[in-house]
Amino acid sequence: MNSLLDKEAKEKIEKPDFSTRAGRLFLAKYLEDKFYNILEHDSHSETPVFKWVSPDFIDNFSRHIVENPNKRFLVGIFGESASGKTTICNTIKKTIEELNLPVEVLSADNYFRDISALIKMHGNFDKLLESGYDVDSPNNFELELLYHDLSMLASGKDVKIPQYLVNGSGVVVPEAIQKYSKKIIVVEGMASMYGDVKDLFDVRIFVDIDPELQKKWFLYRAVNFRNQNEENALKQLEYVRNASKKYIVPLKQYSDIIINGGSSLDYFCQIIEYIYKTTNNYSM
């Protein structure tokens, strides 16, 4: 990717007038060519990022640019637990902050329903799961609120979203996190693909992961950040894998892009930087 970046720095183009259809058509065709460059380069890398891209994706992306120039661009990132989707989103956020790009990132996990009363009744979160409670069911998310908030962001309005506390309490704090309507809005989490919410996205990205790497990441996160012992973490891993087969894997059919969650984050950052440079590489 560095070789492409070096080449891109030397190839500057005259900036088109994006307020005109002709200018947007030029940009769409230009981005199509650059995306094909990325896919070709990626296919020869040691650990490719892209595992699959929908045949319709590039045409649909181009049409969006031409026909809806003022619309916010919504990207949904989903996958199994510990697949790397949150890490990828955090990497995107860090990189775009360095490049000063207009992007907002939010987690759909914040739209879990408050289950603090249920947890208290059963004693703790693990015992609630042992009771058969299906925490990952679409019924346990505030999907109408998620749909509303994303629609508001897509229309140019800022919102305050809830915050789900990942401390085992099951508490949700309403309107706790300020989110801004920026040109690109990235949403990660399984709920982003539930029900009608998935229809809001312009791009749907599924993060695939090797089962052994998933287990390693899941246990590390559970023990080091969620105050769980390894035995309870393994029990929860079994639950989330069964829930994934039921709720997440079937949603893979709606993805536009499937990426490898085990790819190098440095390499992933290089791809973002390449996209940025190709869309801002003008001679004036």
264, two tokens: 């190098």
Residue 129 inside a domain? The answer is: no
User: How many other CB atoms sit within 10 Å of the CB of residue 105?
Assistant: 20
Hey, what are 114's tokens?
């408050």
pLDDT at 67: 81
- List the chain residues with pLDDT less than 50: 9, 282-284
Does 56 fall in a domain? yes
CA dist list (Å): 120 to 126, 131, 169, 244? 11, 13, 8, 26
Give the C-alpha separation, 224 to 181, whole Å: 33
Domain membership of residue 225 as a residue range:
50-109+182-262
Whether 255 maps to a domain, the answer reads yes
| pLDDT at residue 3 in the model | 60
* pLDDT of the residue at 283: 43
Residue 159 lies in a domain: no
| Cβ atoms of 254 and 204 closer than 8 Å | yes
Domain count, the chain: 1
Domain contains 258: yes
Is 247 among the domain residues?
A: yes
Residue type, position 247, single letter: Y
Q: What is the rounded distance in angstroms from the CA atom of residue 29 to the CA atom of residue 98?
A: 27
CATH number of the domain within which 204 lies: 3.40.50.300
**What is the model's pLDDT at position 18?**
74
Answer yes or no: is 123 within a domain.
no
Q: What pLDDT does 146 receive?
A: 98
Between the CA of residue 193 and those of 144, 146, 250, 260, what are the distances in Å? 13, 11, 10, 19
Nearest CA to 96 among 274, 273, 278? Answer: 273
DSSP characters over 127-148: HHHHTT--TTSGGGB-HHHHHH
Residue matched to tokens 């140019």:
156
pLDDT at 149: 98
Q: Is residue 189 part of a domain?
A: yes
Q: Note whether 274 and 96 are within 8 A (CB).
A: no
